[in-house]
Amino acid sequence: MARRKLVYEGKAKILYEGPEPGTMVQYFKDDATAFNAGKRDVIEGKGVLNNRLSEFFMNGLAGIGVPTHFIRRINMREQLIRAVEIIPLKVVVRNVAAGLMSKRLGIKEGTSLPRPIIEFYYKDDNLGDPLVTEEHVIAFGWASQQDLDDMVALGMRVNDFLSGLMLGVGIKLVDFKIEIGRIWDGDFMRLIVADEISPDSCRLWDIESGQKLDKDVFRCDLGSLSDAYTEVARRLGVMPSNTGHVTKPTLIN
């Protein structure tokens, strides 16, 4: 079998060259990291769950006209995506105060925000992804004013879609992070949702109990991460219950 060319390996995913120009294969690993990789572990089955969940969210977004990089799922851990030029910003949308915002501004975790708030973080592991303003983004040429306006619009549409979807299955979408990529159709450039959307990049709280169903389970040692992600997938009807856990084959005597 021909070896695929590795393009980029990140903390949770690997990108390979795709079968056609303009495509890539995105492979979801089981590795979990937090605190800029200060904490790490391997969570069996996480990559399978995130591959399916990201497919589900990206397909749903495409269904309401939000452009994404997703083309199709290839297998349990891989999906075919459009090759994009990633804008070096993490776009965070918040509905409820939590995480860094609570720490930075002293707002109690769980406080509903008066309206969704969008923040930009400059993607740089060495700097710990600092929060930046639109002034920085434009002055340093990471994106234009038009790009920023488009990113805010995309962030808001993704927020409306995901919030509604989650609310329908008894989950509060506290916040999430997306990454945005540029693609060209001839001379025409547009921005699309890229990377992944999964419980690795969202805060999801059960509405009734407040139970965390996202990566905070790993960050804060709150129990089984794969159980939490399986629960999200189950509620959304994404995975048949018997494929939630990837079990090793057992020897039959």
Where do contacts with ligand UDP occur on this chain (CB under 6 A)?
90, 92, 98-101, 129, 175-177, 201-203, 215
Min. distance of Cβ 245 from ligand UDP in angstroms? 23
CB of 122 to ligand UDP, least distance (A): 11
The DSSP code for 36 is T
Q: Nearer to ligand UDP by C-beta: 137 or 202?
A: 202
Q: How far is the CB of 205 from ligand UDP (least distance, A)?
A: 11
**Phi-psi domain of 129 (left: phi exceeds 0; alpha: psi -120 through 50; beta: other):** left
Find tokens 């105060």 and name the residue.
Answer: 97
Q: How far is the CB of 104 from ligand UDP (least distance, A)?
A: 9
Cβ distance to ligand UDP smaller for residue 29 or 177: 177
End-to-end alpha-carbon separation of the chain, Å?
33
Cα-based angle 18, 19, 22 (whole degrees, multiple of 5): 55
Shortest Cβ distance from residue 118 to ligand UDP (Å)? 11
Residue number, 78 or 129, with CB nearest to ligand UDP: 129
Is residue 131 within 8 A of residue 101, CB to CB? The reply is no
Which residue, 50 or 230, has its beta carbon nearer to ligand UDP? 50
CB of 90 to ligand UDP, least distance (A): 6
Between vectors from CA 123 to CA 122 and to CA 125, what angle results, nearest 5°? 120
Cβ proximity to ligand UDP, 35 vs 188, nearer residue: 35
- Residue number with CB closer to ligand UDP (17 or 134): 134
Residue whose Cβ sits closest to ligand UDP: 99
- HSE-CB at 52 with a 13 A cutoff on CA atoms is 17
Pull the structure tokens for residue 95: 């509905």
Q: Could you tell me which of 76, 49, 43 has the C-alpha nearest to residue 197?
A: 49
Calpha distance 25→2 (Å, rounded): 14
Closest CA to 100 of 134, 140, 130: 130
Rank residues 18 and 91 by Cβ distance to ligand UDP and give the closer one.
91
Q: Helices marked H in 108-183 — which ranges?
A: 134-139, 145-167
Rounded least distance, CB 175 to ligand UDP, Å: 4
- 171-185 and 13-17: which strand pairing? unpaired
